Structure 1
C-alpha cells in the first residue's frame, strides 16, 4: 500500500479512537450516578438502538455514517450483528443512499422523524424513530427501531383478503341465503328479492337511490311491482332484468339513470341466489356507480378520434409543397388566359376569346376539385358509401400521389383486368391509398417505384378462410414498392394502433391501422406481403358489386329564365367580384338584387325581400347564420341560401338546417346557383 494511503488510514483510525474516547467519557459522565442501571436498561430494552455519526466520504460531504454505539437488540431487529465501527456503505452499499437521505434530513433540520422502511439486505421492515444528538456539530443521530415485518405481512394479507371481498360476499350469500349485516354495510347498492320479486333485503345506499329516482322508500317485504307503480316503463325493464337472474343467469348490464342534466351511469351485476341444494330461491343485485369510468372512456374515444385526425392532417402536411406548386400552376393558367383575353378584346380578335375562356374555366375547375378533395380528406364526418370504379378513383388521384411522393419515385397504375365496382366511401379510400403511398415513399429514401394494380378475382373457400373473408367476387387493389421491406417482427405488428418504426414526433402510428379498420368496415381485408430488402406489397380486398358508378355531374347547361315574375333578393357577400357576378346572373333572370358587404349594412335595408343569399364568413361582427336569424326575426318565412368556401358539413356542426335553408359551397357553377335559387323560391 502506498505510504500516503497508509498515512491517511492511520489518521482516520486515530480520529475514530479519539471520538470513541470522547463518547465513552460523555457516557461515563451521564451515567456516573447509576451506571449499572443505565447499562442494564440499554442492553435489555426490546427496541433496537444505535447512535450513528456522519462523516465526509468519497460520495461527498456527510455522505456516509459510522455506527458508534448499538445495543444487543439491534442485531435481533435488523438482522445484522456487530455493527459498532461499521460504515453504512460497507454494510449495505446497494441501499445506502436511501438511509443517508432519511437520517441526513434529521441531521440537517434537527426535526425528529418517524417512518417505516425495508432493510433490503435482511428483508426486515423496520419502524424507526430518529432524532439529532445535540450539539449539531457532532454530526450524530440517534436511532430507535423495531422489526415490524410480521405486522406488515399481516396487513398485506388483510389487504389481499379485502380485495376478494366481493367474491367472498357472493359465496356467503349463496351458502347462507342472506347476510343482512354485510348487505347493509356494503359499498355497493345491494338489493335481494325472492322468486315473487319481494325484497328480502336492501341496504342504505339502495334505499337512498330508489327514493331519489322514484320518490319512495323501499324496505324488506315490499313488492317490486308495487314500488314501481306509476313508472310503467321502468317497472317493465326492472322485472325483465330480475326474471333473467331468477332463471339462473348471471350477467351485467350498464344503464343510465338520473333526472335532467344529472345523468349517471351504473353497472348492474345480477346473480341468482341458491340454497344449499343448488335450487334458486331468489336473486341479488350489486349496483356500482361507474360515471367516472364512462367519462374516462368517452375522453379516451375523443382522444383516439383526435389522434386519427392528427394522422389525416399529418398526411395533408406532406402534400403542402405539391399543393402549392399545383395551385401556382393553375392560377398561372387562369391569370395568363385572362390577360390574353383582355389583349384580344382590345385588338378586337374575338375569335381567340372562347378557347382562352375554356382554358381558364378548366384550370379553375381543377383547382376547385383539388380543394374539395382536401376538404373531404381532412373532415371528421363519416361519409356515405357509394358504388365506385377503382380505376376512375385512382386515375383521379395520380397527380396528387405523384406530387406527394416526389419526383424521385415513379408511380405506375394497371387496371387491365378490373371489372365491376366496390361499395365504399370514396374519400376514405383516397385517404387510405394516399397513406399507403406515403408509407411506400418513406421506405424508399433513395427513390424507387410504386405500382398500383387492380384485378377482379374470385376468393375460394380455402383462401377465404385464411383471409377471414366470405367466399365470393372481390376487387383487389394492390400498392407495391421497391423499398427496404419489413422484418418479421415489424410485419407482425404493422396494423397495431400507435405502432410505428419512425422516430418520435414523425408519426402517430395510426396510418396502417386506420386503413385496416376502413377496409374491414367495408367488408374487405388487408394483406401485407413483405421481406427485408425485397419491398412491400399491400393488398386491399374489397367486395365486388354489379352496381354502376354514379354519373359525373353534367356540364355546359344553359341558364334558364326564372319561373314566374322576378323576386327581390337580399345578397350579403364581402367579396365584391363574387357579389357582382351573382347579382348579374340573378338580374338577367329577372330578379331584383340588393347587394351588401356586411350583415349590419344589409339589415339596415328596411325592405321586404323574397330570398336571402349570404356568405357564412362575413366581416363587420355578424356571420351569415346571425344575419339569417335576424332576417327571419323580421320575415319568418324568408328562404335562405348560405354560400361558403368551407366544406358544407362545417355549416351543419350546430345541427341540421331549418326548413327553407340550403347550402352551396364555393366555387360553384352558375347553373347550380340558379337551381338552388329556383328551388328555394318554389318551396
Structure 2
C-alpha cells in the first residue's frame, strides 16, 4: 500500500462471507479485514535479534551454555564450550547425564543452588577434573559465572553460564612462583655456605634445601667412602627423617641404581624405583627391604669436586610415584654444584688453618702451603662473587617476575569480570618487565661471549652522533656531552645494537663517576696498529677504528683497575648491580674481534677505548637497503616451524597465520626431517638451534638442503650456539634471530626472506 507517499508492505487477516438473497442465491460478498503489520514486523525483529544473539554467543572467546529447568538440560552450547569439554551429546540432556565425572566436585550443587535461590554464582581458578575418551583424567582451571535466567514474571527458568579456561595462566603463574621460591632458596644456601666452614653444617644445609626444593619425603647425603670390597658408602646427613630410620640397614652397595651417582656418571631419576630394572626385578617386598621407609619416586645426583672427584651423592625419595620432574633435576644439579664448591672451600680453609698451626715445623713445605692459601683465597673470592651474582640477579628477577605475574593476574581478573578498560597499562607493564628480563639475560650472555651477534657494516660516526641526545638525557643536565667524530672514519663490521648498548653502559658508568657533574667526551679515530702497538693491546696488527669515552670523574683506584672486567665484580651494594656491565662490554668487543683499553687517574678521570677491526667490503647505500616493511599478508606460502618449546612454537605459528602463511609444526629434528624429505611444499624453514632428538637446528637445515638445495632457513636461538650457526658466517639463504624477539620484527624477517 502507498503510505506517506511511498509503497510499503503490509500484512492482513481477511474474512470473506457470502451474502445471500431471499431465494438463497449468493448476491454479494461481505469482506472484513484486520491489519497485522505491526505484529508481524515485531515478531520478525525478535527472530532476527535472537539469531544475531546466537551468532554472537557462538563467536564468543569464552565458553557459553544455556541450561533449562531444574534438571539443568542443555539448551545451547557454543563452539568454545565444545572445544573445552569435548565432542559430547549436549543438547536435550542434563548436566548430570553429560558430565557424570563431576559427581563430588561441587558443580551439581552450585547449579541447584543458583536455580533454587536465583542468586548469581562466581568462581575463579576453580579446578575441574574431566574425562576424555582414550586419555587419562585431565584437570583444568576455570573462571566462570552462573547467572539465573528469569521469565517475565521473575521466576527462574534456567541458568546462563559463561567462563574462560585459565589453565595455562594458572600453570604459568605456579611455575613463576616455583621459580621464585627456587631462586630464593638457592640464594639463601649460597649466602649461608659462603661464610660456613663447618663441613657437617654445610652438607646438612644442602640436604635440607634439596628436600624443600623437591618436596621429597626425605633426603640424604652419602659420602663416597669405599672399602676394600668397593661397595661401602657412609651416611653423612639426613633430612625429613631420623637417623634411627636408617640405623638397622646396611649402607648402599655398588649396584646399577647407586653406581651412576657414586661414579659421577649421570643423574638418576625414576618415577617408580620399585619397578625399575636397575634396582633389581626380584628384590623382596616389592623392591624395598622389610621395614624400609616407603620409597617410590627416586632422585639421585652426584656431588663432584673439581679436585677430588665425586665427593658423594644427594638422594631424595617420596612414597608416591612420579613426584620428581625435570625441573627438580635441574635445580638439584645447581644445588649439587653449590655443595661441591662449599665443601671444597671448607676443606681448603681447614687445610690452610692446619698448615698455619704447624708452619714452624714445615718450613721446607712453605711454598706449597702458600699455594694452598692462595687457592683458598681464590675459592673464597669465587664464593663471594657467586653470592653477589645470586643476590643481584635474584633481586632483579624477583622484581621482574612480580611485575609480570601481577600484571597478568589483574588482566585475567578484569577480563573474567568483563572489564577491559585500562588493561593496556598492565599489559604494557608485563611487557616492559619481560623486556628488562631479556636485557639482563643478554648481559649474562655477553660477558660469557655466548650472545648472538648480528654484525653488519656500520658507520660508527653516524651511530655515535645519533646517540648524542639519548646519552645527554641519560647522564643528566649536570654533565656536558661532547661528540668528536674523525673525518673519513673507516667502516666497522659490528652489531650496531650491541655497540649502542655498550656506549650507553659506558656513559652511565661515567655519570656515576661524576656525581657533582663534569664533562663526557666521545671521540672516534682511525688507528694503524704495528706489531708493537698491537701486542700492547693484545690484537693482531692491522687497521682499526677506536671509540674513546672520557670523563672528568673520580677515576679508578689502582687496586681494582685489574678487576673491573671480571664477571660479577662491582663496587655497588648487593641488589644495586650484578657487576655485568663492563664484563658484558669486554665480552662483546672481544667477540667482535676487538679490544678494550682503560686509562685512568684518580680525581682526574677515566678513558675507556673500544678498538674495532676495520671493514673493507662493499656497503649498501641507504637507498639500496632491503625493504623491511611487514607485508600485510602472505600468498599461501608454507613455513615449517621446528621448536621443542610449545609456547614459542605456538606464537610463531600465530604470527604466520596472521600474515597469511600456511604453517607446519615439528618439535624435534627427526620429525622435522620426515616432513622435509617428503614432497610437501616448504618455502621457509624456521628452526630453533637447540633441539632434542639428537640433531640441532643447523644439522636439520644442512640435511634438508641435501634434498632442497634452495631452501631458505631462519635460525631461532635463545643463547646463541655460535658454533652451530657458523659464528655469524652463514651460507646464502640462512639467517638468525635471537630470543626474545619482538613479534613485528619476526614477521618482518619472515616476509623479507620469503619475498627475496
Whether TM-score is above 0.5 comes out as no
Q: TM-score range by the shorter chain?
A: 0.3 to 0.5
TM-score between the two structures when normalised by the length of structure 2: 0.33
User: Quick check: which has more Rg, 1 or 2?
Assistant: 1
> TM-score under structure 1 normalisation?
0.36
